[in-house]
Amino acid sequence: MLILVTHGNDWLDPAISLVIGAVIAVRAAQLLVATSSVLLESTPADLDIAALSKAITGVEGVEAVHDLHTWSLSSDAAWPPPLAGPLVGDETPVCRPPTPKSSVVP
């Protein structure tokens, strides 16, 4: 169709096909990078582990956190990432029963 419209420019159809193929290849590579990060459960790139550790140790009764692990389960940034790590605490109970106003999801 493009050859008919451009009056015999035979090179134009393969050139546009190559451009479309390149756009598809670039987007496929971007999707592969995004999904591999989630599938490999890597640490979210925008998460500051040092600040998170400092915030956890700022809780009353927590003296230290060791070997803190965080990972991503979704590419959605609205969900907080899961984390795990042993805490060192004093005798103050760290876990308290939830209040009616508390929520798991912010």
- Give the pLDDT of residue 87: 72
- All residues at 6 or more sequence positions from 13 whose CB lies less than 8 Å from its CB, including other chains: 2, 3
Convert the pLDDT of each residue in 25-80 to its tens digit.
999 999 998 888 778 877 777 778 888 888 888 887 778 887 888 877 776 665 66
- Cα–Cα nearest to 32, from 82, 75, 72, 69: 75
* Whether residue 70 is found in the same domain as residue 91: yes
* Whether residue 67 is found in the same domain as residue 56: yes
Q: Is residue 102 part of a domain?
A: no
Domain extent for 68: 42-96
* Phi, psi for 2 (deg, rounded to 5): -65, -35
Helices (H), 40-86: 49-57
> Residue 27: in which H helix or E strand, if any?
helix 12-39
**pTM listed for this prediction:** 0.50
